[in-house]
Amino acid sequence: MLHTSKPTPKVMSAQSSVLRVADRVGFTGSFLCAVHCAVLPLVLALLPAFGLKIGGWLDVDQAFVVFATLLGATTLSLGYRRHRVFRAWLWLVPGLGLVWLGAFTRLHNHSVTHAVVMTIGGLMLAAAHFINLRLTHAAAALPLAED
């Protein structure tokens, strides 16, 4: 009698599960950052029309950039160890370069140029996390190698 075995799906490890959550957080945060950078100049321009003043606001750009750098480098490093594809890094590195440029140089003046640089950088970070998430998911679906 022939035994046909069905491929057993790979069980997600705790590390892989944490990586998925981290990539989703990175994707969502980076995307929201890009939206924030695109919309904030418009909101700031409209506030005086409503009689509202702003002052003493905490500037979160720099804190977010440091957090995004740590989260991106960690999740993409862990993802790379799993899937061995460099593609996500091709989006992360220039994206981080743009957000660091926008947050820690003379561009950090909340001008239109700052908003454009930060928006493009944030979208690139979101793309890197999305690509890493897809690559990690695809690698988890591959059958285990037999010894």
Please state, in angstroms and as integers, the Cα–Cα distance from residue 57 to each residue in 45, 53, 63, following that order. Answer: 15, 11, 14
Q: What is the SS3 assignment for 140?
A: helix
Condensed to tens digits (0 to 9), the pLDDT of residues 14-61 reads 667 777 788 888 888 787 877 777 777 777 777 677 776 665 555 677
Q: For residue 131, what are its two tokens? A: 């690509």
Give the global pTM. Answer: 0.70
Q: What is the SS3 assignment for 15?
A: helix
Q: What is the pLDDT of residue 147?
A: 41
